[in-house]
Amino acid sequence: MANRLAVSGTHAIAELARRMSGGAKGHIRPLLTRIVMIVFCAMANVAPGAAQSQTDNLIVPGVRVGPVTLGMTDVDLYKMLGDPARTDVTSDGARIHYVYSSLDVGVDRDSHIVVAVETHDPSYATAEGIKFGSSSLALMVAKLGPQEAGSCGPPDLCEYTTSNGLHVGLDSRGCVRYLTIVKEGFGAY
């Protein structure tokens, strides 16, 4: 459809040029209307999200945190974010963590794909507005209460998974300390 619109649009512009050069006077307004309609139709036919900037800071559980998508390769991660501030390896050696200023990205050592993304940065938020610093009340209002029983440990941090797969860390005051998404099948972060 996009090719046909582009060809039609190019054809319409050529026709406009022909008409403006002296032929078929009086038919310019309908042709301009047609060109405008073609442009609007082309814009309406863009797939939702296709034109969406991946530089936004939206957390989409099970999909992405800002520009970092679960399943992307470590090469794509490097092309997008560059050198991390720090690189850590899990004690079992299964994952490499690339720590950036606002994201901690876990990459499976064998497949070289992103399997987890965590943020402590309040500029990243879910569609419901949940972010670093949000209260447990905000989580309940957003219907993002615990799906799985969580665990608590030092330093007074409790962790649970929401119904949509978002992993949430709460401090002793009930405030969000981190938000994590994990690729299905890769367990806890």
* Domain regions of the chain by residue span: 2-44, 58-182
Question: Which stretches of the chain are DSSP H helices?
Answer: 2-20, 28-44, 74-81, 136-141
pTM of the model: 0.68
CA 48 to chain centre: 13
Structure tokens at 31: 């042709």
β-strands 68-69, 86-89 pairing: unpaired
- Nearest-angstrom CA–CA distance, 34 and 8: 10
Domain 58-182 sits in CATH at 3.40.33.10
In the predicted model, what is the mean pLDDT of residues 87-97?
Answer: 92
> Which residues make beta-bridge pairs with 151?
159
pLDDT surpasses 70 at 30: no
Q: Which residue has the higher pLDDT, 145 or 26?
A: 145
Amino acid identity, position 69: T
